[in-house]
Amino acid sequence: MQKALVWLRRDLRLYDNAALHHALKESKQVWLAFIFDTEILEPLRKGDLDDKGLKHDRRVDFIWQGLKQIDEQLRQLGGGLIVRFGKPTECIPQIAKDLGVDAVFANHDYEPSAIARDDNVRASLEKIDIQFLDFKDQVIFEKKEILTNSNTVFSIFTPYKNNWLKTLQEKDLSAYECSPSLGEYAAIPKKLDAPFPSLESMGFCATSIETYLPPGSEGGQAFLEDFLSRIDQYQIGRDFPAIKGVSYLSTHLRFGMLSIRGLVREAHRRMLAGSMGATIWLSELIWRDFYFMILANHPRLAQGASFKPDYDNIAWESGATAKKLFAAWCQGKTGYPLVDAAMHQLNQSGYMHNRLRMVVASFLTKDLGIDWRWGAAYFAEHLNDFELSSNNGGWQWASSSGCDAQPYFRIFNPITQSEKFDPEGKFIRRYLPQLDKLSKKSIHAPWKAGHIELEAAGIKLGRDYPLPVVDHDEARKKTLVRYSVVKKIS
């Protein structure tokens, strides 16, 4: 092969990249391209715009800055990154034709819309006698690589994990060599070497995400090094949102700025050395593979179907009341401090602690009685690390409608969750400063505080902080009735 084009998507790195490795191995000249997909970005521009008509979306800015890093690295090696704003189904075949490449290399995606896109691109390339070659890269095991003894797809996590670990070999974690000598990255022809489309030209504004989430592989490596210095305590600190207990690597992993093989290699090595923290973290990484596998084998989930079809018979709250309750949840005004603080964290930063994702999802579905799809859509719009498979899996787990989900009668109590995982109220005080003067006992349920304490703290419920929008005990009873339609199958 003489010439190749590598189409970057959610693999924004120049190391340990399967498609890039194979392109460099098979071709004498290699170019790289990224397309800001208008079909993905246009829906993101719905909603509130700034006074210039631009949308604030941290993820687009994060990707844009990460691509700048890649372009700079490629320029130093004699190449460069071709970036376009348009439809990949049109842009990729045109770029490939203009470059005169023999093949386009890319890594697998598992979402139905992405699969349809790739099929479209493949068909267009075939018409101009250009190959489309794709590879496994963003997971360790994909599709039907891990099966039950009867050759069926797993639906329960623990046996899947056990089989995953049993199947794992050193070759599955080996890094793909992507270190070319100078000249293998071909210079971009002048007619194609256009400037990056600016954020503004695509309808987006710059954000401050880089101040707390440095983009690119450089930012990801810095975060990884920090996490590895405390990974042995992961199992202790991961449930407490007020402390630095988790990895904070999910956004870099989601956009492929870090290699999943590298992360699993570190976790697995430390697990074998006896680290309980690494063992638990590895399990979380396997959950990610599990949800990718579930989506790949059950594409109907991408359309909002429950994994357990009978759970689609649940009658969720609707009408004006449901919309009002949902708005209170979105805005962090439910009157339950841990829930509200978590939603403020999400709205302010695009991040939410994993324990709190379970808490707020349980609260929305089982305290407010609102369809899990509403919450999943809100997360999809606001989470920096949003990916369809994990988001869908997490929400269906919380609502008991998914594979290996919590039982329908397990309903998180937002007060006891708060007392257990934020005992001093430090996380709550960070995001709800109006409650700062409450005692560590009262801060979890301000409406239970005495009149004297509230007055001393300068708090008037209903004015400075909302009264609870629902009573948890009453809501729990309603939820058990609501779920009674599926009681016999759970």
Catalytic residue ranges: 284, 287, 316, 354, 372, 395
Provide the pairing of β-strand 29-37 with 3-8: parallel
d(CA 254, CA 373): 21
The tokens describing 248, both together, are: 């904070």
Residues 6+ apart with CB under 8 A from 42: none
The tokens describing 227, both together, are: 């996490």
Cα–Cα distances (Å) from 169 to 108, 141, 264, in that order, read 21, 11, 12
- Give the other-Cβ count within 10 Å of 44's Cβ: 16
Which residue type, as a one-letter code, is found at position 141? F
User: What is the secondary structure of 14-43 as a DSSP string?
Assistant: SSS-HHHHHHHHH-SEEEEEEEEEHHHHHH
Which conformational region is residue 386 in: left (phi greater than 0), alpha (psi within -120 to 50 degrees), or beta? beta
- Give the other-Cβ count within 10 Å of 474's Cβ: 10
Supply the DSSP symbol for 212: T
Residues 6+ apart with CB under 8 A from 196: 64, 67, 68, 71, 83
Instruction: Say how far residue 299 (Cα) sits from the centre of its chain.
Output: 18
Q: How many residues in total does the chain contain?
A: 490
Cα–Cα distances (Å) from 200 to 203, 252, 340, in that order, read 5, 23, 32
Strand partners, 7: 33
Supply the DSSP symbol for 6: E
d(CA 91, CA 94): 5
d(CA 379, CA 398): 14
- Give the other-Cβ count within 10 Å of 396's Cβ: 26
C-alpha distance across the termini of the chain, in Å: 55
Q: Mapping DSSP to helix (H, G, I), strand (E, B) and coil, where does residue 49 land?
A: coil
- Give the other-Cβ count within 10 Å of 456's Cβ: 12
Residues 6+ apart with CB under 8 A from 321: none
